């Protein structure tokens, strides 16, 4: 019986694979940041190969602003509409949305 542990992929791992600096990786994932098209392409290819995803919680700690929106929802027809509208608004403001469903009956 083998246990397959998933290893966390860091921005430094992406930087090594792409052959760029750690700060170039950060800039590539920051909307509006200065990064060349060539560097951006290398970083995105390396990130996809490694399965890298930005850690929004870590980014929020460093920036002292999480840009996370939490939405608790009950099982009601209006919940889907509210959730969809909240997701759209969060995306427009470059925020991440986390949802939790209450399964009360």
Kindly write down the DSSP assignment for every residue of 45-85, as one continuous string: HHHHHHT----HHHHHHHHT---EEEEEEES-HHHHHHHHH
Question: Domain segments of the chain: what residues?
Answer: 11-54, 65-102
Q: What is the pLDDT of residues 95-105, one digit of tens each?
A: 777 777 666 55
Q: Is the pTM of this model over 0.85?
A: no
DSSP, collapsed to helix, strand or coil, labels residue 13 as helix
Mean pLDDT over each residue of the chain, to the nearest integer = 81
């Amino acid at each position: 019986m083998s246990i397959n542990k998933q290893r966390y992929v860091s921005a430094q791992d992406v930087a090594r694979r792409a052959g760029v600096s750690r700060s170039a990786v950060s800039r590539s994932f920051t909307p509006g940041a200065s990064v060349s098209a060539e560097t951006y392409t290398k970083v995105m290819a390396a990130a996809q190969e490694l399965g890298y995803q930005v850690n929004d919680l870590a980014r929020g700690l460093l920036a002292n602003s999480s840009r996370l929106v939490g939405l608790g929802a009950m099982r009601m027809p209006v919940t889907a509409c509210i959730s969809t509208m909240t997701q759209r608004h969060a995306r427009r403001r470059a925020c991440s949305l986390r949802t939790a469903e209450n399964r009360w009956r």
